[in-house]
């Protein structure tokens, strides 16, 4: 019978076993820490809009309100509900990506058509912000999960639009290479300072400077991008300069 602690510095098999137990324990507590952090972030993100909804609903009950006030309070409730709804959608998407077994349903489809379709969805915003758009898309037949990949282009493009001021430029390129495809989404927006780049794909991470604070977001978009790309065995890179613009480059293998 064995009692006492295993010496992880031992050079024999027992030592190796002790080391691998040690690594397992570290990984488990890291998972545990991340799960706790995740739950606390989620709760916080739900709490703020809920408090706003509650507060403004209470104000609405007052019968003496002017029509103007009434409608402005109702608008807050509407937009906060919208926020909760998009947060829930993103969380559900992230959970579906977290399954042990790959959630991907692969099939062959035209990647260029898909990108064009997403751009079409954002036409109104491009016009509203008077952004100019250039696009160069190779015709590509790609095998992957179209419904998850759609979210990748949607999130990257919606960020490019969100974080670029009026009259800026957006450039989208899809290039077919030997056995990979590359999608580049470049904007001339506010850019991201270097110190944020390493955490950009973390869940809930948002660059918090005066200009982004009033731009709506959950900090989940890029973590979804990262996870979907990883499940496709691809990679995503970002190049950015503050005040100049940002380029996201997604590379996927197409064998
Ligand atoms: P969010 O919902 O906040 O947009 P994301 O995960 O999509 O969350 O992005 C994380 C953060 O990265 C954003 O809050 C923003 O600060 C920064 N970011 C993402 N895309 C861009 C971009 N194209 N230009 C400037 N900043 C960006």
Mean pLDDT, the chain cut into blocks of 10 residues (255 residues total): 69 83 82 82 88 94 89 94 92 86 92 98 94 97 96 97 94 95 97 93 82 76 95 96 96 90
Q: Classify residue 68 by burial, with Cβ atoms within 10 Å: 0-12, 13-18, 19+.
A: exposed
Q: How many residues does the chain have?
A: 255
What's the confidence (pLDDT) of residue 199?
92
3-state DSSP percent of the chain in helix, strand and coil, to 5: 50, 20, 30
What's the confidence (pLDDT) of residue 146?
96
Check if 218 has its Cβ closer than 6 Å to any atom of ligand 1.
yes
What's the confidence (pLDDT) of residue 3?
64
Report phi then psi at 249, rounded to 5: -125, 115
CA angle 15, 16, 20 (to 5 degrees): 120
What's the confidence (pLDDT) of residue 211?
60
What's the confidence (pLDDT) of residue 210?
60
CA of 26 to the centre of ligand 1 (A): 31
What is the end-to-end Cα distance of the chain in Å, rounded?
Answer: 54
Strands 169-176 and 180-187: antiparallel
Pocket test for ligand 1, best of 90, 156, 222 (most atoms within 8 A of CB): 222
Q: Give nearest CA residue, ligand 1 atom 18.
A: 159
Look up the pTM and report it: 0.82
Asked if ipTM goes beyond 0.90, one says: yes
Pocket test for ligand 1, best of 218, 221, 249 (most atoms within 8 A of CB): 221
Strands 169-176 and 235-241: unpaired
């Amino acid at each position: 019978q064995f009692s006492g602690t295993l010496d992880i510095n031992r050079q024999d098999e027992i030592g190796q076993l002790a080391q691998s137990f040690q690594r397992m324990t570290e990984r488990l507590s890291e998972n545990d820490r991340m799960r706790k952090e995740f739950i606390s972030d989620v709760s916080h993100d739900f709490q703020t809009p809920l408090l706003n909804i509650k507060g403004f609903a209470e104000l609405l009950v007052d019968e003496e309100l002017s029509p103007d006030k009434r409608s402005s309070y109702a608008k807050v409730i509407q937009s906060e509900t919208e926020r909760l709804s998009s947060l829930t959608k993103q969380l559900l998407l992230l959970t579906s990506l977290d399954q042990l077994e790959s959630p991907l349903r692969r099939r062959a489809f035209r990647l260029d058509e898909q990108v064009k379709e997403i751009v079409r969805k954002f036409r109104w915003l491009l016009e509203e912000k008077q952004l100019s758009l250039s696009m160069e898309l190779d015709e590509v037949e790609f095998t992957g999960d179209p419904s998850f990949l759609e979210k990748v282009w949607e999130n990257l493009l919606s960020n490019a639009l969100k974080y670029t001021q009026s009259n800026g430029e957006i450039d989208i390129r899809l290039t077919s290479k030997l056995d990979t495809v590359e999608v580049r989404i470049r904007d001339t927006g506010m850019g991201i300072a270097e110190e944020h780049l390493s955490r950009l794909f973390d869940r809930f991470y948002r660059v918090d400077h005066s200009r982004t604070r009033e731009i709506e977001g959950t900090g989940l978009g890029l973590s979804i991008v990262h996870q979907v790309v990883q499940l496709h065995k691809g990679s995503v890179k970002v190049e950015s300069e503050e005040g100049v613009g940002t380029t996201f480059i997604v590379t996927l293998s197409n064998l």
